[in-house]
Amino acid sequence: MKLEEVAKALEIDCESTIEISGLNTLIDSNENELTFLENKKYINDLKNTKAAAVLVKEEFATQVPSGTIALICEEPYLKLAYASKLFAPNVVEKEGEECIVGEDTIIQDNVYLGKDSIIGSDCTIMAGAFIGDNVNIGDNTIIYPNVTVYRDCKIGNDCIIHAGTVIGSDGFGFANTKTGKYIKIYQNGNVIIGNDVEIGGNCSIDRAVFKSTIISDGCRLDNLIHIAHNCKLGHGCILTGQVGLSGSTTLHEYVIMGGQSAAAGHLEIAPFTTIAARGGVTKTISEPKKQWAGFPLMEHRSWLKLQGKIAKLLK
């Protein structure tokens, strides 16, 4: 869309005919993308953005780089929500090439294969699976019954996806109007799953708002796990049952999270970290190769001592 068309839909004055291809974050945007600034803590990202245009409050307009057009508005985040619908892909494509299926791949009955999708060789896609449009699945991957893979997602080689798991569902994103109405932020990214990944049954891995939610090579996910939009799991991470990750959480390589542990959003966990069962991560963990437990989170050894002292009080 031309920028003036986007601006008109958002009820903002702008006459630029620059072509806008999509939305992105301040730091990742290119000269054909639209971005936004809602929180002033990202003001340095605003100063360095390469976006074609930015939705911004008037008070921050002077910080917009010279090559970027400022779209002045009172509620940039709300305008972003409205803009996200303009660039949302079709739920189901009516046109496109039939799915390409590699040699010796088994496709059982009652499997839906979307347009422009590719499935590699020696795969097994079991009954009831839904493979959306523009999905790419590598070689020697097993998709168990009733797995759903939304459009545009990518799954690598030698993966196992167990029954009932959903890959690429919408992340939990919305903006509020002044009257309290929730406006959906369309999740226009995807999910990328690397090679040699096993995902248990009834997991939910949300697609990104922009770009990708990433599960790297060698990860192992137990049953009933939720990974929110824009999360990134490094090589070899292990998540056990009922783990939950809030949006934009980054786990570096070989992080282990015990059952029912969780992480708040927009934080990082250092490599080779272990989070004990029911541990709650609320801040970035920078030091690698340490064990943590409890809520509030503390070093595992300190948590054990604390539990011992509490037990003595009860005698």
- Of the residues 162, 229, 266, 300, only one is catalytic, namely 229
Minimal CA–CA distance to 234: which of 260, 204, 214? 214
Amino acid letter at 200? G
From residue 180, alpha-carbon distances to 57, 174, 176, 201 in Å are 20, 11, 5, 36
Q: Are 222 and 241 in contact (CB under 8 A)?
A: yes
Minimal CA–CA distance to 152: which of 199, 186, 111? 186
Residue 280 token pair: 């709650």
Which uninterrupted H or E stretch holds 8? helix 3-9
Does 266 participate in catalysis according to the annotation? no
Q: Are 263 and 230 in contact (CB under 8 A)?
A: no
Residue 210 token pair: 């922009």
CA–CA dist 3, 35 (Å, integer): 12
Active site residues: 229
